[in-house]
Amino acid sequence: MPAALLALAISAFGIGTTEFVIMGLLPEVANDFGVSIPSAGLLISGYALGVVVGAPLLTAVASRVPRKTVLVGLMVLFIAGNVISAIAPAYGLLMTGRIVAALSHGAFFGVGSVVAASLVAPAKQASAIAMMFTGLTVANVLGVPAGTALGQALGWRSTFWAVSVLGVIGLIGILTLVPAQATTESKGLRSELAVFRNPQVWLALAMTALGFAGVFASFTYIAPMMTEVAGFSSGAVTWLLVLFGGGLFVGNILGGKAADRKLMPSLYVILAALSAVLIIFVFTAHAQLPAAITIAIFGAAGFATVAPLQARVMQKAEGAPALASAANIAAFNLGNAAGAWLGGAAIEHGLGYTAPNWIGAALAAAGLSVAVISGLLDRKQSVTVNQEALTR
């Protein structure tokens, strides 16, 4: 794999760390600013909103700018957001810093996916995308626990300074390792937006939102599920999350390789496996060893979807792959929010801590249904093209 992919992966590691590390630092932030834990939790929602808004907006605005230049600008924005967070004297400015950093998130992964794919042969494009997203998976395995430990030992601001340094390293890597990228052939914002007239683009985005809603319906409540149902101590949850993160890493690599061979069949199998694992998790959550094993498999199945879903939306958005890819990152975040809300609603209605697994399984199955519909449309279009070719 080209060295440029390492620069993209390092940047992705920094972005992934800053997105999720705040979860482990909420008590410290809340205590420092004198706000409640739920109020501090809005820093997570604010970040997600920044991703949803920034992903398509910044990508569209920068459609005529060379992609390497766009990546450099996005990393500068990311660094600025984390520096603002680190020096924030008040809660409001910390929220501002989080949103500024989030604006770069979706656009970076959107443009970065296109750049990663351009660095390799067509047969290896999904694996190249997976390599970039490896930075995001490693952030969950190493970055978030390390950032949480650093923040708890030296104060939460130290974590944002550390992430800012990661951003600088990623920026230097992009400047030195990523080859110059030509401007896109976009004819303007209207031309970029025209790709959304293709129903297949919307089906791809729906697959992403439903698939990841299934993941986060369960994952959001993994801690109470493991302590209240499986009987683990609260201290063991950290190690269970490491297991989950290890599964993410493996699933990301395997998903990319599978998508390079056969994209849609891979999505069928992965989404079906995700739904099946979540159903099994309803029962294995009641015993510690089976629960731990299932968590690792759940992580693998959940993140195996990422590279194929990203490749699919790029495949169907030939006129504006970066914009559609960024919109797909927004779809991931919408799925995260929706899944967490639905899983929480199930618990609030007294269905128990394993109920989110049923919700997640249903959402993943819905994503599979959309994938099947999309695949059938592909076949129909292929038959139509062949028939037209025969009549000429």
* pLDDT for the residue 185: 52
Q: How many CB atoms lie within 10 A of CB 175?
A: 13
* pLDDT for the residue 188: 58
Q: Which residue has the tokens 């974590």?
A: 159
Gap between the Cα atoms of 355 and 361, Å rounded? 10
Instruction: Transcribe 63-110 into DSSP letters.
Output: TTS-HHHHHHHHHHHHHHHHHHHHH-SSHHHHHHHHHHHHHHHHHHHH
Higher per-residue confidence, 332 vs 192: 332
232 backbone φψ class: left, alpha, beta (φ>0; ψ -120 to 50) = beta
* pLDDT for the residue 206: 93
Point out the least confidently predicted range of 57-66, 84-93, 166-175. 57-66
* pLDDT for the residue 20: 76
* pLDDT for the residue 319: 66
* pLDDT for the residue 192: 65
* pLDDT for the residue 26: 75
Residue 320 pLDDT greater than 90, yes or no: no
* pLDDT for the residue 105: 86
* pLDDT for the residue 181: 64
Q: Which residue has the tokens 């939306």?
A: 313
* pLDDT for the residue 277: 96
What are 46's two structure tokens? 């604010």
In 3D space, the residue among 109, 302, 279, 130 whose CA is nearest the CA of residue 210 turns out to be: 302
Q: Give the model's confidence band at 371: pLDDT under 50 very low, under 70 low, under 90 confident, else very high.
A: very high
Higher per-residue confidence, 330 vs 100: 100
* pLDDT for the residue 175: 93
What are 379's two structure tokens? 């076949």
Are 310 and 115 in contact, with CB atoms under 8 Å apart? Answer: no
Cα–Cα–Cα angle for 203, 208, 213, nearest 5°? 125
Residue pLDDT, tens place only, 146-194 = 888 888 889 999 999 999 999 999 999 999 988 876 555 555 556 667 7
What are 131's two structure tokens? 């390599």
Point out the least confidently predicted range of 164-178, 266-280, 315-329. 315-329
Its pTM stands at: 0.75
In 3D space, the residue among 56, 24, 85, 48 whose CA is nearest the CA of residue 324 turns out to be: 56
Higher per-residue confidence, 361 vs 145: 361
* pLDDT for the residue 384: 63
